A = this chain, B = another copy of it.
Amino acid sequence: MTDAVDAGADLFKALGDATRRTILDELADRDGQTLFEICGRLAMKHGLTSSRQAISQHLGVLEQAGLVRTRRDGRYKFHHLDTGPLRALVERWPIDREASP
């Protein structure tokens, strides 16, 4: 286990931005959206004014982190949420399941 250093650096970096977390929320609410759909719904429901390119770059970061998987069909590119990498995050530190503050 050489170092076991920081398995999901990209994962944490991807989750570090508020816009990207909102994108994940959106994909959790409606999976398989295109870039333009995401842009529109972010503007409508969440009041985000980011440009299309900004959202595209965010999606690139999320995809690199493994949180989003894409599927091309013609000129459309659908984005799907993948919460698999989050499991590693959960298991990294011991979380008390009980204990309500």
**Chain copies in the assembly?**
2
Binary contact readout A77-88 vs B (1 if CB under 8 angstroms, 0 otherwise): 000010110110
- Chain A residues proximal to chain B, CB less than 8 Å: 5-6, 9, 12-13, 15-16, 18, 21-22, 24-25, 28, 46, 81, 83-84, 86-87, 89-90, 92-97, 99, 101
The answer to whether A86 touches B81, judged by C-beta atoms less than 8 angstroms apart, is: no
Residues in B whose Cβ lies below 8 Å from that of A12? 15-16, 18, 21
Question: Closest chain B residue to A11 by CB distance?
Answer: B15
Give the residues in chain B near A13, CB-CB below 8 Å.
16
Q: Is A28 within 8 A of B95, CB to CB?
A: no
Chain B residues whose C-beta falls within 8 Å of the C-beta of A83 in the assembled complex: 93-96
C-alpha spacing A24/B71, complex, angstroms: 37
The answer to whether A16 touches B18 (Cβ under 8 A) is no
Nearest CB in chain B to that of A67: its residue: B93
Beyond contacts A12-B16, A83-B95, A87-B95: 12 other A-B pairs, Cβ-Cβ < 8 A, are A6-B18, A6-B22, A9-B18, A12-B15, A12-B18, A13-B16, A15-B15, A24-B93, A84-B99, A87-B96, A90-B90, A90-B95
